[in-house]
Amino acid sequence: TFNTSEAARPRRGSAALLHHRAGMKNLRVVTGALVERVLFKDICKTAYAVKVKVDGVTHTIHARKGIVVSAGAVLTPQLLQLSGVGPKQLLKRLGVKVVHDS
């Protein structure tokens, strides 16, 4: 979303939010990163990390408290399906380990 209420120059709402949060020790912003999938604990189906590719190198980023999935109307379902959350028949056909049938 864009903030057009400022007379000088409109800017994205996310940019304004990050500007005020830049000094937080528990926030790290990585640009140009692609989340490949969310990792879940097998028994309790709790997300504990994400696999991220940055500059062609895959990293695992572990969460301390929680993971927020926000990739838009199309990419959020795709990311969840790549992570094993979705229709069981589709996931099996694609060779994705089923975490949760939905």
**Residue pLDDT, tens place only, 2-50:** 445 555 555 566 666 777 777 788 777 788 899 999 999 987 889 999 9
Predicted TM-score (pTM) of the model is 0.75
The type of residue at 56 is: G
Give pLDDT, residue 70.
Answer: 86
Q: Where are the domains of the chain?
A: 1-25, 31-101
Burial of 73 (0-12, 13-18, 19+ CB in 10 A): exposed
Token pair belonging to 38: 């969310």
Give pLDDT, residue 30.
Answer: 80
Nearest to 67 by CA among 52, 88, 86, 56: 52
CA gap 44, 53 in Å, rounded = 26
